[in-house]
Structure 1
Amino acid sequence: MKKKLILLFLWMCIFPVLLSAQSRFAFKDGKFVIAQFTDLHWTPESPKCAETAATIRAILEAEHPDLAVLSGDVVTADPAIDGWKAVAEIFNEAKIPFVATTGNHDAEYLTRDEIYDILLKYPYYIGSKGPKEIGCGNCVIPVYASKEKNKVAASLYCMDSNDYQPNKLYGAYDWIHFNQIEWYRKQSLSFTVGNGGIPVPSLAFFHIPLIEYNELAGDGKTYGNDKEGGVASSNINSGMFASILEMKDVMGVFTGHDHDNDYIGIDKGIALGYGRVTGADAYGVLTRGARIIELYEGEYKFDTWITTPFGREIAYYYPSGMNSEEEQTMTYLPAKKVSANKHGVAYTYYEGKCKQVAEIASCTKVTEGTMKNFSIEEAAVEDHFAYDFRTLVNIAEKGIYRFYTFSDDGSVLYIDGEQIVDNDGGHSGRRAEGKVALEKGLHEIRVLYFENYMGQELEVGYSGRNILENTLPDDILFVPE
C-alpha cells in the first residue's frame, strides 16, 4: 500500500507538468498518424528550399497527419533565423501541429535556446524547451484515448541527441546524457503509474541513431534502404536502449542523420528505424520524402511506411517485422482439409545419443502419446534423449507468420512438410526463427528436438501482424487424427 501511495504521489507531481505547454492530442477512430520529416538541411538562400517545401506540403496533403515531427538538422545555414521561420510557416499554413528535435548541425548557426524561442511563437508548435537542467528540446507529448478523455493511450518522447564531443578518442558524436535518460525514466514511470501499472505504448524521436542500430543487419526483420555503408552513431553506448528495455513502453525509436538509410528493423523487441531524408539541399540519393507512422489505440502496434510526392512505398508492420511486399510476393501454404477435435500435441519419445535431428530416427523409441503443448519435462533422463512432436495449428487469418524455437540442444520446425526454423546441431540455449505464408485454417507442425548433454530446453512460439509474439497457445493446437 505504501509503494502504491508513493507511485501515486510521483504521478500527481510529474504528470501535470507534462501537459502544461502542449496541445491536447487524441486518437481518432482508433488511429493516430505521425509524419517524421528529417534532415531538411534548409539553406535559406538556396533555390532548392522551394523543392523541400513542396515535398513537405505534398506529404501533408496526402497523409493528413495528426502530428509532424522534425528529427534534426532542420536549418543548417545562415541566416538561420529566417530558415526556422520559413520552416515553421509551412506547418502553420497547413494547420498541422509540429515538434522539432535538433541535430548535430542545427546549433552551429543558432543556439538551442534561440531555436526554441523562435518555434514557441508559432501557434502550431506544440513542443517545449523542456527542463533547463537537461538541455533544450526534451519533451514528451501524450496522446489521449478516443473515449476515455483523461486516459493517456500513447506517449511520444522527443529528445536531443546532442551533437559533438571534444575527446576524439570517443569518436565524433556526442550521446544522450544520463540526466536525459533519468528524465525519460521518470516520465515513463509517471505514465505507467497513471495507467494502473501498465506501460503506455510509446515512441521516441531524436536525430543521431543509437549504436544498437548496428545490430539490425541480417536479422530477417529489417526492411528498407541501407546505402550509407554503416551507422554514424556515437561510439559510446549511452544506456538509452537499456532503459527503453527496462521501462517497457517505447515500441520504436526513429532517427535521421544517415541520409541514405531509411530502413527499419527490430532488436530485442524494439523497432529501430530511420526517417526518409526530406531536404533537397541534403546529400543522398533517395527520393525525398517522410516516414509515416500509424499508431493503434490500446495496442503495442504500429504500421509505418515512406511517403514521397510520388506516393506510398512498402508498409512495415510492428511488432511482427513483416512488410506488405512479403504479403504480395510470398506463396501461401493452403490449409489442410482435415478434421481436428481434440486439443494437444502428439509425440514420440526416444533415448540415445545424436548430434543432429536427422539422427533421431536411429535412437531407441521408448514411448509415444499426447500432451497439452510442446514440452520436454516428461523426459525420463537428463541427457541423450529426443522428441518427434506433431500437431495441427489453427491459423485464424491468412497472413505471414514468424515461428521460432529456443532450444538446448538442437531443434527443427516444419510446417506442412516445409522446413521453417533451423535450430539444429549441438549447442547451448539458442533462438532461431523463420517466416511462412499461411492460408486460414489447419496446418501441420512437426518439431524434431534432441538433447545431447549439459542442459535441456525447448520453447516453440510464433507471431503475426496482429499477434504479439508468444508461445503457441494450447487452444490452437490439435492432435492429428
Structure 2
Amino acid sequence: MTSRFLSSLLLLLLAFWAGAQNKPDLDFSDSGEFKIVQFTDTHINLEKESNRDVFGRVKKIVGIEKPDLVVLTGDIITGSDPREGYLLFEKLFVEAGVPWTVVLGNHDAEHGMKREALADFIQQRKLCLNNDQHETDGNSNFVLTLGSDKTEALLYFMDSNSYSTLQPLVGGWGWFTYNQVGWYREKSRQFTRSNGGNPYPALAFFHIPLPEYTAAWENKDNPPLGVKNEDECSPEINTGMFAAMLESGDVMGTFVGHDHINDYIGVHYGIALAYGRVSKKMKGEEDPLAGGRVIVIKEGKRSFETWIRDMNGEKELECSWPASFSNTENQ
C-alpha cells in the first residue's frame, strides 16, 4: 500500500514538474522591458505546401528580436488537418526557448477539427501558455499576468469568433458576445480591485478588428501610422467591447489580424488600435512585406513601444504609445 502510494505521489509530482516547465512565468527583463512578437494570418496549408516558408520567416524574426513571448493572432493553420502545423510551431518555439500563445481566427477551424477540439490541442503544446478555462463563449479567452513576484501588467487573449450567427439577417464576421464582454469586465474589475483600485497596464490580442478601428484610421488629430489597403472587415454589430475597455481603464492597446494588407496603428479616445503585420507573403506590389509586429511593454509605466520587423529583417513603422499620439484632444 505504501509503495503504491509513493508511486502515485511520484507520478503526480512528475506531472506537476512537467506542467511547471511547460508554463513558465512571464517577467520583465532586468532593463524593465517585456517584448512580444505578434505573427498573424499565416494561412499555412501543409497538404498543398502553401505558405510553408512562414516557419523560416518566424524563426528568423524570433532570432533577431529574441522576444519574451510570441502571439499568433489567428488564421494560422488553415489546411485539412491543423495539428501537424501546430506541432511544427511547437518544435520551432521549443528550440528557440520562447513561450507562445494563440487566439483563433475565422478560418482556423474550417478544416479537420472543430473549434473547441483545436483550442484544446493547442493548449496542450509545450511552452504554449493558452489557458482557456471555458468561462465564457468562444475557445481562446484567457489572461496572462506579467511579473514573477507581483502582477505588474496584464495580457488579455480573446476569441473574436468567426462569422455572424444571425445570418441571413446579419452577414459578415463574428463579434464578441454579450457574455464575453461581461467576462472581460469582470476580469478587469477583479484585477483592478486587487491593485487597490488602480487598473494595471494591459494589452489585448484577438483576430477580427473592432468597429472602432475605422475611427482610429480617420483620426485627424492623431493620424495613424502604417497603411490601410483594404476596408476594415469588422463585424456589422457592435457589442461594446471597446466601450468596456474604455470604461475599465486598463487596456492600452489592442492587436489584431484578419485584414491582410492593413498594418496601421492609430488611436481612438486614447486607446491604441493596431494591426499586426501579415506573416505570409502577399502578391500585390503595394502590399506590406510579410513580417511580424513587435511590442515592448515598460515595467511600471502605462506605455509601450512598437515596430514592424519585416521578412528581410528591416525595422519599419517604429513608434511609441502614448508619446507618438500625444494630441489628446478630440480623440
1:307 is paired with a residue whose SS is strand
Tell me, yes or no, if the aligned pair for 2:90 and 2:126 is still in contact at 8 Å. no
The question of 1:259 aligning with 2:245 is answered no
The question of 1:171 aligning with 2:174 is answered no
Aligned to 2:120: 117
Q: Alpha-carbon deviations, 1:277-297, whole Å to 9, x = none?
A: 002489893211000000001
Structure 1 pair 199–259 and aligned structure 2 pair: CA distance change class (3 A): same
The Cα shift of 1:174 comes to 1.6
Q: Supply the AA of the counterpart residue of 1:313.
A: E
Aligned to 1:213: 213
Q: Supply the AA of the counterpart residue of 1:107.
A: A
Q: Distance in 2 between matches of 1:276 and 1:245?
A: 25
Aligned to 2:319: 316
Q: Distance in 1 between matches of 2:23 and 2:83?
A: 23
Q: Distance in 1 between matches of 2:322 and 2:307?
A: 14
After superposition, residues 53-452 of structure 1 pair within 5 angstroms as: 53-109=55-111, 110-144=113-147, 149-165=148-164, 166-216=166-216, 217-219=218-220, 220-228=222-230, 230-280=231-281, 285-310=287-312, 311-322=314-325, 402=326, 431=330
Q: Distance in 2 between matches of 1:213 and 1:266?
A: 8
1:59 is paired with a residue whose SS is helix
Q: Distance in 1 between matches of 2:322 and 2:189?
A: 22
Aligned to 1:35: 37
Q: Supply the AA of the counterpart residue of 2:248.
A: M
Q: Alpha-carbon deviations, 1:386-422, whole Å to 9, x = none?
A: xxxxxxxxxxxxxxxx567x7xxxxxxxxxxxxxxxx
Structure 1 pair 118–281 and aligned structure 2 pair: CA distance change class (3 A): farther
Q: Distance in 1 between matches of 2:250 and 2:219?
A: 26
Tell me, yes or no, if the aligned pair for 2:282 and 2:290 is still in contact at 8 Å. no
Tell me, yes or no, if the aligned pair for 1:88 and 1:119 is still in contact at 8 Å. no
1:70 is paired with a residue whose SS is strand
Tell me, yes or no, if the aligned pair for 1:22 and 1:128 is still in contact at 8 Å. no
Compare 107-116 and 157-166 and name the one that shifted more.
Answer: 107-116
2:56 is paired with a residue whose SS is helix
Q: CA RMSD in A?
A: 2.2
Q: Distance in 2 between matches of 1:50 and 1:171?
A: 32
Structure 1 pair 403–84 and aligned structure 2 pair: CA distance change class (3 A): closer
2:212 is paired with a residue whose SS is helix
Tell me, yes or no, if the aligned pair for 2:38 and 2:294 is still in contact at 8 Å. yes
Larger radius of gyration: 1
Q: Distance in 2 between matches of 1:69 and 1:98?
A: 6
Compare 106-115 and 83-92 and name the one that shifted more.
Answer: 83-92
TM-score (norm 1): 0.60
Q: Distance in 2 between matches of 1:121 and 1:204?
A: 22
The Cα shift of 1:221 comes to 2.8
Tell me, yes or no, if the aligned pair for 2:282 and 2:289 is still in contact at 8 Å. no
Q: Distance in 2 between matches of 1:316 and 1:200?
A: 22
Q: Alpha-carbon deviations, 1:111-165, whole Å to 9, x = none?
A: 1222123223322101123325423110101001xxxx43211100000000012
Compare 94-103 and 46-55 and name the one that shifted more.
Answer: 46-55
Q: Alpha-carbon deviations, 1:183-239, whole Å to 9, x = none?
A: 1111111211221110000000000000001102242331001111x1100011110
Identity across matched positions, percent: 38
Q: Distance in 2 between matches of 1:121 and 1:248?
A: 32
Tell me, yes or no, if the aligned pair for 1:152 and 1:191 is still in contact at 8 Å. no
**Higher RCO (CA 8 Å, separation ≥ 6 residues):** 2
Tell me, yes or no, if the aligned pair for 2:153 and 2:200 is still in contact at 8 Å. yes
Q: Supply the AA of the counterpart residue of 2:79.
A: A
Q: Distance in 2 between matches of 1:280 and 1:314?
A: 18
Q: Supply the AA of the counterpart residue of 1:195.
A: N
1:117 is paired with a residue whose SS is helix
User: 1 or 2, which has the higher strand percentage?
Assistant: 1
The Cα shift of 1:40 comes to 0.8
Tell me, yes or no, if the aligned pair for 1:76 and 1:106 is still in contact at 8 Å. yes
Q: Distance in 1 between matches of 2:318 and 2:85?
A: 32
TM-score (norm 2): 0.86
Aligned to 2:11: none
Q: Supply the AA of the counterpart residue of 2:178.
A: F
1:211 is paired with a residue whose SS is coil
Q: Alpha-carbon deviations, 1:256-294, whole Å to 9, x = none?
A: 000000000000010000000002489893211000000
Q: Distance in 2 between matches of 1:114 and 1:84?
A: 13
Tell me, yes or no, if the aligned pair for 2:74 and 2:108 is still in contact at 8 Å. yes
Q: Supply the AA of the counterpart residue of 2:240.
A: G
Structure 1 pair 321–235 and aligned structure 2 pair: CA distance change class (3 A): farther
**Runs of 5+ consecutive residues of structure 1 not aligned to the other structure:** 1-19, 323-401, 407-430, 433-481
